[in-house]
Amino acid sequence: MSYQIIFWMLVASTVILIAGIMVMAGSIQAVLKSKKNKSKDNKVIKTILALVGMTLLSSTSLFAQGGEQENPVFNPELSDVLGLTLVNMILLLTFFYFKSIFNNLVQEYIPVSEAKERSPWFKINKVLTDAVEIEDEAVIMMDHEYDGIRELDNNLPPWWKWGFFATIVFAFIYLGHYHVFKTGDLQIAEYNKSMEIAKIEVDEYKKAQNLNVDENSVVLLTEASDLSEGKKLYTQNCVSCHSAQGEGGIGANLTDDFWLYGNDIKNVFSTIKYGAKNGMRSWDDDFNGLQIQKIASYVISLQGTDAPAGKEAEGEFYEKISFE
Ligand code: HEC
């Protein structure tokens, strides 16, 4: 299972949270600067710096871990995701902790209006969402009135705007991930990768089922049951060109002693699997190795039956293969 998407979303939220914490820290600093009491000021700032340092350290050590991997495309594992989730939770707690400190400080020391002017948090919120506090609503009250109903000229709600900015941030991460740093696979690459994986799985399945006989490992099957299965497949697929008894037509006569490509099981297997140049197509996509092995064995068993009205001999003479 790939954790790419979750991982990079967590990375994005880490970045956003760190940015948020830095803004909060700046706001707290601004509030503290505006008052006289220096000693308390220093203590709070020190705690803040220590906390920020700790969280940054823990998150960078995590990234360093990921960087050690030799694979150029970083493939996050469950442990990375869990670790990053933990870091995110710590950051989130830190953020809310800062926010509560900030709120307390504002209430304690300065008039709300002044704090708003100074603190970056309020400034950013104001610039990005253009929200108007309830106390200031008179400013955006429109001058019409119908039956006592009045209207505010509100901007879009802040939660909506934040959502919108999140999509912008996401777009940059997406762009970087897929197009700039090329750490992610685009559709075609992803498709090819899954096809490769599927191919490996199919091969494993065939191996497990003993189906992937190929031209190197194939041996002649002599059991009557295998030959009759081969005959069934032959009847379903080959008679249109080689005729019902193998006497040939468009395709070569399979019942005489003359073969274009040899009558050894390996040769016949290859002819069926890969086809031959004059109108015999490849059957690799239609059958698995075991099936081709059965058909090939059946075809070889036809030699010497010299079906009536057979096609004229083609190729060279080969001794009949013994089925004993
Ligand atoms: C579309 C017609 C067509 C079909 C269907 C077809 N063949 Fe053929 N087959 C040919 C032709 C044509 C040749 C001769 C190829 C050449 O001369 O290079 C041939 C050649 C062969 C040969 C080589 C014979 C030799 O003398 O060495 C074998 C074996 C064979 N076919 C088996 C099969 C089997 C098994 C099937 C069914 C799975 C099959 N063929 C389906 C047209 C067909």
Query: Which tokens go with 130?
Result: 């253009």
CB 206 within 8 A of CB 212: yes
CB 283 near ligand 1, within 6 Å: yes
CB 246 near ligand 1, within 6 Å: no
Cα of 288 from ligand 1 centre, angstroms: 18
How far is it, in rounded angstroms, from Cα 264 to Cα 261? Answer: 9
How far is it, in rounded angstroms, from Cα 295 to Cα 192? Answer: 32
Q: What is the pLDDT at residue 116?
A: 65
Q: What is the pLDDT at residue 69?
A: 47
CB 300 near ligand 1, within 6 Å: no
CA angle at residue 236 from 233 to 241, to 5 degrees? 105
Cα of 217 from ligand 1 centre, angstroms: 22
How far is it, in rounded angstroms, from Cα 4 to Cα 13? Answer: 14
> Would you tell me how many other CB atoms lie within 10 Å of the CB of residue 119?
24
Q: Average pLDDT of each block of 10 consecutive residues along the chain (324 residues)? A: 79 88 83 64 68 68 53 71 90 89 78 67 78 82 91 88 93 92 90 94 81 88 94 96 94 95 95 94 92 95 91 93 85
Q: What is the pLDDT at residue 5?
A: 80
Alpha carbon distances (Å) from 275 to 262, 268, 292, 310: 13, 10, 12, 21
Query: Which tokens go with 19?
Result: 């940015």
How far is it, in rounded angstroms, from Cα 252 to Cα 311? Answer: 7
Cα of 287 from ligand 1 centre, angstroms: 15
Q: What is the pLDDT at residue 257?
A: 94
